[in-house]
Amino acid sequence: MNIKLEIIFIGIAILFILLGVIWAIRTEKRLKRFFAGKKAKDLEESIITLEENISKLKSAKENIEKELVEVNKKLKKSIRGLETIRFNPFPDQGSNQSFAVGMVNEDGDGVVFSSLYSRERMSIFAKPVKNGKSEYELTTEEKEVLKKAKV
């Protein structure tokens, strides 16, 4: 019985040895393919080049993020809402030749332009707007155009 057990253990040991040899041969083949035609110095230079490229990419990413913040600041100040209304301030004469134009940014800052047209003359007004309100009295049409222009 001891001989049978020894044969089984020897068989298992041989199997493990064969598996280890096969694994070592496959690993050796993979390493030869990886290092084929390369010297240690070439690999070191490749790694150094990759590290330099990574640091350049990080620097470029930081610059782009800073520029994006600046662009967003400028965009916030740009005109985001624009509206025009034509109207007739004098119902007994003419047609819808008068108009009001509202231009505002995200904060509600901007300007309202309005024009009143009559047969004798035409008047143009510009009223600054801060936070959606003007220090000058706004007509009904100017209030309406500001309301519609808000983002």
The per-residue pLDDT for range 17-47, each reduced to its tens digit, is 999 999 999 999 888 877 776 666 677 788 8
Q: What is the pTM of this model?
A: 0.57
> Is pLDDT above 70 for 1?
no
Q: How far apart are CA 8 and CA 14, in angstroms?
A: 10
List the 122-129 sheet strands across, edge first. Answer: 81-87, 98-104, 110-117, 122-129
What's the confidence (pLDDT) of residue 77? 85
> Which pLDDT belongs to residue 34?
72
Closest CA to 98 of 81, 114, 75, 79: 114
Q: What is the mean pLDDT of residues 102-116?
A: 92
Confidence of residue 91 (pLDDT cuts 50, 70, 90): confident
Question: What is the C-alpha separation between 87 and 76, in angstroms, rounded?
Answer: 31
d(CA 78, CA 125): 22
Contact 142, 112 (CB under 8 A): yes
